Structure formats: C-alpha cells, structure tokens
Amino acid sequence: MASLATGQRLKSAVCNTEIMVISAPDGDLELTCGGVPMGSDGSNESGTVDPNYANGTTIGKRYINEDGDLELLCVKPGDGSLAVNGTELKIKESKKLPKTD
C-alpha cells in the first residue's frame, strides 16, 4: 500500500507496463499491474503476470477506477492489467475534439 502523487511514474514488476499518475485520491491504495504491486524500480525477474490480471495495457490509454478519482496514463504497454485494491481499472473514453493546432 502506498499513496500516489500526481505526475509520479511507476513501472510494473512483471511486464513492460509503465504509467504516469494523472490524478489520485488522498490516502493509501494498492496499485498493481499483472497482479503485482507497481513501483519506481520496475521488473522483478522472478515474477510473472497473474492470469487473472493479464488483459494487457495500451500506450496512450487512460485508465480510471470506478469512483473516477484515480486516473493513470499508460506510457509503455505491457501484458499485465492495471488494478487498484484488486479491481481492474477501465479505459477512459475520450471525447473527440476538432483539430485545433
């Protein structure tokens, strides 16, 4: 369990996934990727992706929790899926804007 800070970059311990925190609620959360807690150091050679959390991540997609107070940006894709306190995060649907610049 750890608290997450806006702008923080975290790596999966069991796949190539990396994320940046866009927004996070106060207090401790257990953020996992592939079923294993994420950290700033990254891969753990012995670990593997838990088959229950193996839907993968997509670069550039934004992941949110049910409450909508946690939002992550996937900056490197991997095989594990993101979850908080055991619940898998969902991809946030984005609104298409007209081209502006």
Partner 1 sequence: MNIALFLEMAAEARGGRVAFKDALTGESISFAGLYKAAQAKSQVLHESGASHCALIDTSNLTIPVALFASGWAGIPYVPINYRLTSEEIDALIDRVKPAFVVTDAERREAWTDRSDLIVHDRQSFREVHAKSEDVAHWSMDPEGVAVVLFTSGTTGAPKAAIMRHRHLVSYTLMMEFDSAEEDEAALVTVPPYHIAGIAAILTSVYQCRRVVQLATFEPDNWLKVAREEGVTSTFVVPTMLSRIVDSLEGQRSADLPNLQAISYGGGKMPLNVIRRAMELFPDTEFTNAYGLTETSSTITLLGPEEHRTALASIDPTTQKRLMSVGLPVPGVEIAIRDDKGRDLPTNVHGEIFVRGEQVSGEYEGIGSRVDEDGWFPTRDAGYVDDDGFLFLDGRADDVIVRGGENLSPGEIEDVLREHECVHDAAVVGMPSQEWGEAVAAAVEVSREVSVEALQMWVREHMRSSRVPEKIQFWDELPYNETGKLLRRVVKAAFVDSP
26 binds partner 1 per the rule CB under 8 A: no
Beta-carbon contacts of residue 95 (< 8 Å; ≥ 6 apart): none
Phi-psi region of 27 (alpha: psi -120 to 50; beta: other; left: phi over 0): left
Which of 59, 66, 69, 86 forms a contact with partner 1 (CB under 8 A)?
59
| Whole-angstrom distance, CA of residue 13 vs CA of residue 79 | 11
Which of the ranges 30-38, 45-53, 59-67, 78-86 carries the binding residues for partner 1, by CB under 8 A?
59-67
Q: Residue 23: helix, strand or coil by DSSP? A: strand
Query: What are the phi and psi torsion angles at 53 (to 5°)?
Result: -130, 55
Q: Which of 26, 45, 60, 87 contacts partner 1 by CB under 8 A?
A: 60
- Hey, which residues between 31 and 50 contact partner 1 (CB under 8 A)? none
**Using CB under 8 A, which of the segments 29-37, 41-49, 82-90, 91-99 binds partner 1?**
91-99
Binding site for partner 1 (CB under 8 A): 6-9, 20, 22, 59-62, 73, 75-76, 94-101
